[in-house]
């Protein structure tokens, strides 16, 4: 997968050519799965494009056609850095307390046998429903701020999709061709870029089942008499 | 409303209206076109809508016969009318097909969960009437293992997906052999080079033959002037697409041609939280849609009718 490039809100707006200031939903309305890992102030400003319906969240480098190419890139949502643990108590300066996994796990010997049920010292209320996987099928035991691939090689959290794809190749291939995971922006890359969600935008790595949703909107056909299936006349 | 209910006789059966296109053609051939047009106009359920037509609109030519200058004037008039009626400043473009494109849509039914966000996005994007929640998309809740449209329920509610069900979004299939086009007595609807079946909403006489001819129930009659608060009007419009349609005409999905002919994805696709929808140019061998047609077992609705939809469904 090619490297993501980034986009500022202004540029994102500019691609929505034709849409004016009166664009109906200026609020970036992220898909309902929120990304819980907290990168802290600095890191989050470096996040690459975040796909929201119709609008995007920023970062630094402009998205442009690659040199010598007449096509805009397909930008995949990524999250920089390793997740952090947010501690309950804020410090006296009102800063949010955040610690890296390595803060504890570099001194704590990994317990390869630990299962969700046994996590009672620190990671409380942790829910897990991802097949029969053990924690260290994904987390790299010797490197607390990294994930691992099937061969045991470490892989950065940023590249989490290459890990998912090793076990879910069918979805990964479909994803590459737009048949899984969806997209936003342009179908015609000669006119503008396309944006795609990360696997973890839609699937919580620990409880990956796509959540149920509630139907919010229904046409009132009854009053139009065009597709009335319930009336008895 | 009550009045209009009695004025029409859509069968109350859950079966979508199926019309044998060849029979339709035969019926059409039996009349002189002009005669049929006059007849159709006379039985149009909203004859009174004609009263609302301005003299300019009445004398306006068919879209395909308008010169560039005429088009500019017509569009300026429509923009001014929108400003007057809705208080909204809109821009109506005249988006033409991109040479070398043929648009095709596909939906992954293994992924679609029936949440209906597409229905809502269409409602907003295409300036549909607010009160009736109008939209060009209906999602049918279907029993697993059956593709019988007639058994689908479009009024399901609550939490989705439900056990034993799958969800089938249906909208205009942009058929290559569109029965709706064949039956139009005034040629107010036609198929363009990129495959989109369009309607000249100023030329449509509202006879609803096309609505009855469509086996997918993708066309709908605009019973009343849509009501939309000024701040909710999508100002980014196109003449053949999402400009606010007058009452008394038939309307349908255009694959959001005001977006897709500018290279963008349709609104319903962008709104899909599950990523079930795929759209693209079938003539591009590198396109997603081409990959799907070559690698998935795809299904078209009511293939036996020979309508040749440009809309495909598949399961993983």
CB of A99 within 8 Å of a chain B CB? The answer is: no
| Contact criterion met (CB below 8 Å) for A187 and B279 | yes
Residues B263, A192: C-beta atoms closer than 8 Å: yes
DSSP letter for B154, please: S
pLDDT < 50: residue spans in chain B: 1-35, 47-51
Q: What is the spatial distance between Cα A175 and Cα B111, in angstroms, rounded to a whole number? A: 12
In chain B, the residue whose alpha carbon lies closest to the alpha carbon of A203 is B274
B26 burial (CB, 10 Å; 0-12 / 13-18 / 19+) is exposed
Between residues B110 and A40, which one has the greater pLDDT?
Answer: B110
Tokens read off for B17: 């209206």
Domain boundaries, chain B: 23-93, 103-314
Question: Whose CA is closest to B130, among B233, B8, B269?
Answer: B233
* Shortest alpha-carbon distance between residue A63 and chain B (Å): 16
Burial of A18 (0-12, 13-18, 19+ CB in 10 A): middle
How many whole angstroms separate alpha carbon B26 and alpha carbon B62? 25
Decide if the complex's ipTM is over 0.90.
Answer: no
Q: d(Cα A150, Cα A142) in Å, to the nearest integer? A: 15
Instruction: Give B298's strand partners.
Output: B314
**A184 near B CB under 8 A:** yes
Which structure tokens are listed for B165?
């069900």
Q: What is the pLDDT, as a whole number, of residue B38?
A: 54
Strand ranges (E), chain B: 91-93, 103-108, 138-143, 159-160, 165-170, 189-191, 197-199, 220-221, 236-238, 250-251, 277-281, 298-299, 311-314
- B298 φ, ψ (degrees, to nearest 5): -100, 160
Picking from B160, B278, A137, B144, the residue whose alpha carbon sits closest to that of residue B152 is B144
Query: In A, which residues are within 8 Å of B235 by CB distance?
Result: 20, 22
- What tokens were used for A101? 């996994």
Yes or no, beta carbons of A217 and B117 under 8 Å apart: yes
* B262 to A20: CB separation less than 8 angstroms, yes or no: no
Is the pLDDT at A46 greater than 80? The verdict is no
The region, left, alpha or beta by phi > 0 then psi within -120 to 50, assigned to residue B270 is alpha
Query: Does residue B133 come out as left (phi exceeding 0), alpha (psi in the -120 to 50 range) or beta?
Result: left
Q: What is the pLDDT of residue A233?
A: 40
What is the model's pLDDT at position A95? 60
Residue B37 has what pLDDT?
A: 55
Q: Do A182 and B275 touch (CB under 8 A)?
A: yes
- Residue A41 CB coordination number (10 Å): 10
What is the pLDDT, as a whole number, of residue A81?
A: 82
Looking at chain A, the whole-number percentage of residues with pLDDT higher than 70 is 64
pLDDT of residue A93: 63
More confident residue, A199 or A85: A199
Q: How does the average pLDDT of chain B come out, rounded?
A: 86
Residues B87/B237, Cβ–Cβ less than 8 Å: no
Q: Tell me what pLDDT residue A90 has.
A: 59
Q: Tally C-beta pairs within 8 A across A and B.
A: 168
Chain A residues closer than 8 Å to B275 by CB: 180-183, 197, 202
pTM of the model: 0.83
Q: Which of B275, B281, B288 to mutate to test the interface with A (most CBs of A within 10 A)?
A: B275
**Structural domain boundaries of chain A?**
9-111+122-216
CA distances from A214 to B115, B117, B159, B298 (A): 6, 10, 4, 28
Nearest by CB to residue B120, choosing from A32, A186, A216, is A216
pLDDT band at A121 (very low <50, low <70, confident <90, very high): confident
Count other Cβ atoms within 10 Å, centred on residue B235. Answer: 20
The arrangement of secondary structure in B103-314, i.e. its CATH architecture, is 2-Layer Sandwich (3.30)
Report the residue of B157, B269, B273, B290 to disrupt the A interface, i.e. the one with the largest count of A CBs within 10 Å: B273
Tell me the mean pLDDT in the region A10-19: 37
Q: Which residue has the tokens 């796509």?
A: A210
The torsion angle over the Cα atoms of residues B159, B165, B169 and B170, rounded to 10 degrees, is -130
- Collapsed DSSP state (helix, strand, coil) of residue B160: strand
Q: Do A192 and B235 touch (CB under 8 A)?
A: no
**Per-residue pLDDT tens digits for A101-120:** 888 898 888 888 777 777 77
Burial class (CB in 10 A: 0-12, 13-18, 19+), A150: exposed
């Amino acid at each position: 997968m090619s490297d993501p490039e980034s986009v500022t809100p202004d540029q994102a707006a500019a691609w929505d050519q034709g849409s004016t200031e009166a664009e109906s939903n200026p609020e970036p309305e992220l898909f309902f799965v929120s990304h819980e890992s907290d990168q802290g102030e600095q890191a989050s400003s470096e996040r690459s494009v975040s796909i929201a319906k119709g609008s995007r969240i920023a970062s630094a480098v402009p998205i442009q056609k690659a040199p010598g190419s007449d096509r805009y890139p397909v930008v995949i949502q990524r999250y920089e850095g390793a997740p952090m643990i947010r501690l309950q108590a804020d410090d006296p300066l009102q800063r949010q307390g955040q610690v890296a996994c390595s803060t504890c796990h570099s001194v704590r010997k990994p317990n390869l046998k630990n299962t969700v049920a046994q996590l009672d010292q620190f990671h409380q209320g942790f829910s897990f429903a991802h097949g029969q996987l053990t924690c260290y099928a994904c987390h790299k035991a010797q490197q607390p701020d990294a994930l691992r691939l099937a061969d045991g090689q470490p892989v950065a959290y940023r590249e989490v999709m290459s890990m998912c794809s090793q076990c879910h190749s069918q979805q990964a291939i479909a994803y590459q061709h737009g048949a899984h995971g969806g997209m936003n922006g342009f179908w015609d890359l000669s006119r503008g870029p396309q944006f795609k969600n990360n696997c973890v935008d839609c699937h919580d790595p620990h409880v990956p089942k796509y959540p149920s949703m509630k139907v919010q909107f229904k046409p009132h056909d009854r009053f139009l008499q065009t597709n009335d299936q319930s009336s008895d006349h | 409303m009550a009045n209009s209910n009695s004025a029409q006789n859509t069968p109350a059966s859950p079966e979508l209206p199926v019309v044998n296109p060849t029979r339709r053609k035969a019926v059409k051939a039996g009349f002189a076109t002009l005669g049929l047009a006059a007849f159709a106009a006379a039985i149009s359920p909203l004859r009174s809508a004609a009263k609302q037509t301005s003299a300019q609109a009445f004398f306006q030519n068919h879209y395909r016969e308008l010169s560039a200058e005429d088009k500019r004037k017509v569009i300026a008039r429509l923009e001014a009318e929108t400003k007057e009626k809705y208080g909204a400043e809109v821009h109506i473009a005249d988006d033409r097909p991109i040479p070398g494109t043929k648009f095709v849509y596909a939906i992954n039914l293994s992924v679609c969960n029936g949440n209906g966000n597409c229905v809502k996005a269409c409602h907003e994007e295409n300036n549909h009437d607010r009160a009736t929640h109008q939209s060009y998309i209906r999602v049918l809740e279907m029993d697993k293992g059956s593709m019988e449209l007639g058994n689908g329920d479009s009024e399901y509610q609550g939490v989705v997906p439900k056990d034993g069900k799958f969800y089938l979004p249906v909208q205009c299939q942009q058929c290559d052999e569109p029965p709706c086009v064949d039956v139009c007595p005034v040629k107010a609807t036609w198929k363009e080079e990129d495959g989109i079946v369009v309607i000249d909403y100023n030329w449509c006489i509202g006879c609803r033959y096309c609505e009855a001819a469509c086996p997918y129930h993708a066309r709908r009659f605009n019973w009343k002037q849509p009501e939309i608060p000024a701040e909710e009007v999508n100002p980014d419009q196109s003449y053949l697409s999402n400009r606010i349609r007058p009452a008394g005409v038939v309307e349908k999905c255009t694959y959001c041609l005001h977006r897709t002919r500018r290279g963008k994805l349709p609104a319903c696709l962008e709104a899909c939280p599950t990523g079930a929808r795929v759209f693209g140019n079938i003539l591009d061998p590198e396109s997603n849609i081409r990959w799907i047609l070559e690698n998935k077992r795809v299904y078209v609705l009511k293939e036996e009718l020979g309508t040749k939809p440009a809309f495909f469904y598949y399961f993983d």
